[in-house]
């Protein structure tokens, strides 16, 4: 099976699976055939993405011997909840989907998380294929098997680990992303440079202005370099997940910035920031906290902030009550009882997990005015 870039493999024993990279959907039929031939395929998507790519994906599944049927989800993080999950599961049941059905998630992170959780729950588990169409989903949420929905108390508090059988990444779907979503997804790209790959970070410092300009142009273009960058991010995640599938230790580094981000999202009712914007704010807060604790120098904070802002991302923490933020931190999945845990940078390319940090330093790290907020208003 050829691809435009070499495939990767998530090495998890009997749960191992490939990540296929291509500039089109031409390879999807061959990639999907081993897990869809002779089976019903529930293609879960939303109206916008389904209108753009639903026909091509369904045709590929049919060519692979599957029987495709579409299920539409409402769009938006605020609809990533138990009610939407219930409606999707009821839809599977009404359609007569059996235990041999395959759920195919076609869309961004919200679609992938809900569809993956539905696959984990329906009839106690059916197979899933992830076909991510946003930058955030391609470099992060589609890989690794984390699925879930939000509760009123916090983000992704209900979910399951459910590894897909295949992740198929067509990076040219990024040409149809709204500019805000393109910029937001780029936060996760920058994250990988900070946590594990200094040369990647340096490459992003050189190439980000051109990449963002191309993605946000009218019409948008997907720069040739971006496919390889996406693959590099997936390779980092594949290595981490292969060593720590269920976040017993190492995998927590993939949540750099996310403890802060989840608090921001929850306390602004998932309506003020899209996820990648909140992650950018969270990464800046994490770097400020690390500098305040003496773990890294101010130069790291400044370099990261410049790169985030070059991507058009916000960095300033919003004006939220400290006690409310602290309570949200306590509900974060990385916390252990009363022990708060933060992923903080030591240097570009290396982070570590710190527990129960100094409250004065934490308060200073999330004080308003520590970054730029003007990008947040862009649409």
Q: Give tens-digit pLDDT for 236-264.
A: 999 999 999 987 788 999 999 999 999 99
Q: What is the pLDDT of residue 333?
A: 60
Instruction: For residue range 280-329, list pLDDT tens digits in order.
Output: 999 999 999 999 999 999 999 999 999 999 999 999 999 999 999 999 99
What is the rounded average pLDDT for all residues in the chain? 93
Going along the chain from its start, the domains and CATH numbers come out as: 5-175 (3.40.50.1970), 179-377 (1.20.1090.10)
Q: Give the burial class of 364: count Cβ atoms within 10 A of its Cβ; 0-12 exposed, 13-18 middle, 19 or more buried.
A: middle
Residue 336 has pLDDT above 90, yes or no: no
Q: What is the pLDDT of residue 334?
A: 61
- Residue range 213-242: average pLDDT? 96
Q: What is the pLDDT of residue 3?
A: 54
Q: What is the pLDDT of residue 337?
A: 57
Catalytic residue numbers, as ranges: 124, 146, 188, 237, 247, 251, 255, 258, 262, 275
Query: pLDDT tier at 374 (50, 70, 90 boundaries)?
Result: very low
What percent of the chain shows pLDDT beyond 90?
86
Reduce the DSSP state of residue 149 to 3 states and report it: strand
Q: What is the pLDDT of residue 356?
A: 81
Q: What is the pLDDT of residue 307?
A: 98
Residue 375 has pLDDT above 50, yes or no: no
Distance CA 158, CA 117 (A): 9
Residue 1 has pLDDT above 60, yes or no: no
- Residue range 206-231: average pLDDT? 96
- Residue range 135-149: average pLDDT? 96
**Taking the model in full, what pTM does it have?**
0.92
Alpha helices (H) in 197-251, listed in sequence order = 198-215, 224-243
- Residue range 157-176: average pLDDT? 97
Render 18-75 in DSSP notation, one character per residue: EEEEESSSTTHHHHHHHHHTTSEEEEEEEHHHHHHHHHHHHHHHHHTT-EEEEEEE--
Residue 97 has pLDDT above 60, yes or no: yes
Residue 372 has pLDDT above 90, yes or no: no
| Number of other residues whose CB lies within 10 A of the CB of residue 32 | 26
Q: Residues of 41-52 as b/e, b for ≥16 C-beta within 10 angstroms?
A: bbbbbbeebbeb
Q: What is the pLDDT of residue 224?
A: 87
Distance CA 129, CA 104 (A): 5
Distance CA 96, CA 159 (A): 24
Query: pLDDT tier at 164 (50, 70, 90 boundaries)?
Result: very high
Structure tokens at 79: 């609809």
């Amino acid at each position: 099976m050829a691809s435009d870039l070499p495939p990767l493999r998530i090495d998890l024993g009997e749960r191992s699976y490939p990540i296929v990279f291509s500039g089109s959907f031409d390879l999807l039929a061959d990639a999907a055939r081993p897990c869809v031939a002779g089976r019903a395929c529930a293609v879960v998507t939303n109206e916008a993405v389904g209108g753009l790519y639903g026909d091509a994906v369904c045709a590929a599944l049919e060519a692979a011997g599957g029987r495709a049927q579409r299920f539409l989800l409402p769009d938006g993080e605020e609809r990533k909840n138990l009610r939407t999950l219930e409606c999707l599961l009821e839809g599977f049941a009404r359609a007569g989907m059996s235990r041999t059905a395959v759920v195919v998630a076609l869309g961004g992170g919200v679609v992938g998380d809900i569809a993956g959780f539905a696959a984990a729950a329906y009839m106690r588990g059916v197979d899933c294929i992830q076909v991510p169409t946003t930058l955030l989903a391609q470099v992060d949420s589609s890989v690794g098997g984390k699925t879930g929905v939000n509760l009123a108390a916090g983000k992704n508090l209900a979910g399951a680990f459910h590894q897909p059988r295949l992740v198929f990444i067509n990076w040219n779907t990024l040409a149809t992303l709204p500019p805000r979503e393109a910029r937001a997804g780029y936060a996760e790209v920058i994250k990988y440079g900070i946590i594990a790959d200094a040369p990647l970070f340096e490459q992003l410092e050189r190439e980000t202005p051109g990449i963002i300009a191309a993605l946000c142009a009218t019409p948008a273009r997907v720069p040739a370099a971006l496919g390889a960058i996406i693959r590099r991010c997936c390779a980092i995640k594949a290595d981490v997940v292969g060593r720590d599938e269920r976040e017993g230790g190492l995998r927590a580094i993939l949540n750099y910035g996310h403890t802060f981000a989840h608090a921001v999202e929850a306390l602004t009712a998932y309506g003020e920031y899209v996820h990648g914007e909140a992650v950018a704010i969270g990464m800046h807060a994490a770097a400020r906290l690390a500098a305040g604790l003496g773990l890294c120098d101010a130069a790291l904070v400044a370099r990261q902030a410049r790169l985030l802002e070059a991507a058009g991302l916000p960095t300033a923490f919003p004006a939220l009550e400290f006690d409310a933020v602290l309570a949200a931190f306590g509900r974060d999945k990385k916390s252990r009882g009363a022990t708060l845990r933060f992923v903080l940078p030591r240097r570009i390319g290396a982070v570590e997990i710190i527990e129960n940090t100094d409250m004065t330093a934490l308060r200073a790290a999330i004080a308003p005015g520590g970054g730029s907020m003007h990008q947040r208003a862009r649409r």
